[in-house]
Structure formats: C-alpha cells, structure tokens
C-alpha cells in the first residue's frame, strides 16, 4: 500500500483496552477467527489479533506436516476485525448488523502456520448510506501475509 502508515508490530500495540469479540460479533467457535479486537481510531481504524494453533479445525483436517491457515479464512478474519471500525460509525446503534459483501484486490503472500500470531489491521476507506469500503492487511512478524479491500453493508436488525 503506497503512502500508507507503517504496519504496526504486535509489541507496539497496547492490548489492555481490547474488546471481547464475542460481545461484538455473532460468530462463535469454530468460525470466530479473531481472538482480540482493539479500536485504534473510532470509526476509522481497528486492530485484531489471531493466534494460529495446530489444534484448530482447519489444521486438524490437513494432511500436511505443518499446515497453513487457508488464505480465505485470513480474509474472513480481516472482515471480522472490521466490526471494530463499524462500531465507531454506528454511534452505539443497537441491533445493527454488518454483512460481508465483497472482496477486491486480495493478495496472498505467505500464509500463517501453527505458532504464528496474525496482526489484523483494518482501516475505513469510505462510508456512505450504510455501505463501508475497507482496506485490511494481515501481518505475521511484521511481514505482510494477506492484503485485501472489501465491502461491508450495515443494516438495522430485522424485526
């Protein structure tokens, strides 16, 4: 990403005020792919943390000696991290739901393996009429693993 701020490292982030993803996302095990969320700038930038273990369902199902986390699951983890950004846009509107709508410019460089810690960084590009365009980067030890631009649609809860 040209002109973007340098990517943060895990040690550079204060996780003491992290948000519990279970309180924000409707996802539960086994599809909750974010361990911790932190809103850096409300409505603009959020960070997520995912510790990849060998005992997760995608690693157990693999026959490889050192299985990698599938790239599309990393994109989903970025989408789940975007909930931290969307929280700041909605000003606490209860019952609002965000839907992952599309992914563009997805680039897979290296996939995380068991023992890696993914740092997920998502920033808002624009937000209009309930449609958010976001940009996300997943890094492992400061090296870019996956990057993507994606769209989320935010709607009120159905009656």
Question: In this predicted structure, what is the pLDDT of residue 84?
Answer: 84
Cβ atoms of 147 and 136 closer than 8 Å:
yes
Q: Omega of the bond prior to 30 within 30 degrees of 0, cis?
A: yes
Q: What pLDDT, on a 0 to 100 scale, did the predictor assign at position 100?
A: 87
CB 148 within 8 A of CB 75: yes
CA distance 42 to 53: 30
> What is the C-alpha R_g of the chain?
15
Adjacent-strand bridge partners of 138: 120, 146
User: Residue 14 has what pLDDT?
Assistant: 61
Q: pLDDT per residue over 74-117, tens digit each?
A: 999 999 898 888 877 776 556 677 788 999 999 999 989 888 99
pTM: 0.80
How many CB atoms are located within 10 Å of the residue 28 CB? 9
Residue written as token pair 């920033």: 123
Structure tokens at 111: 């996939």
**According to the model, what pLDDT value does residue 158 have?**
47
List, run by run, the mean pLDDT of 10-residue segments along the chain (159 residues): 55 58 66 85 90 75 70 92 82 71 94 91 93 95 94 72
Domains defined along the chain, listed by start: 10-155 (3.10.129.10)
CA gap 56, 20 in Å, rounded: 20
């Amino acid at each position: 990403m040209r002109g973007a701020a340098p990517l943060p490292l895990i040690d550079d982030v204060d996780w003491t005020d992290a948000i519990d993803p279970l309180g924000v996302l409707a996802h539960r095990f086994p599809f909750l792919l974010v361990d911790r969320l932190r809103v850096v700038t409300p409505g603009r930038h959020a960070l997520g943390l995912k510790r990849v273990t060998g005992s997760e369902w995608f690693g157990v199902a693999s026959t490889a000696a050192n299985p990698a986390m599938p790239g599309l699951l990393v994109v989903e983890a970025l989408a789940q991290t975007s909930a931290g950004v969307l929280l700041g846009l909605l000003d606490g509107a209860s019952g609002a739901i965000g839907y992952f709508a599309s992914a563009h410019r997805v680039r897979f460089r290296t996939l995380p393996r068991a023992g890696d810690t993914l740092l997920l960084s998502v920033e808002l590009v624009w937000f209009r009429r309930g449609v958010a365009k976001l940009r996300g980067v997943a890094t492992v030890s400061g090296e870019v693993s996956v990057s993507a631009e994606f769209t989320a649609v935010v709607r009120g809860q159905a009656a």
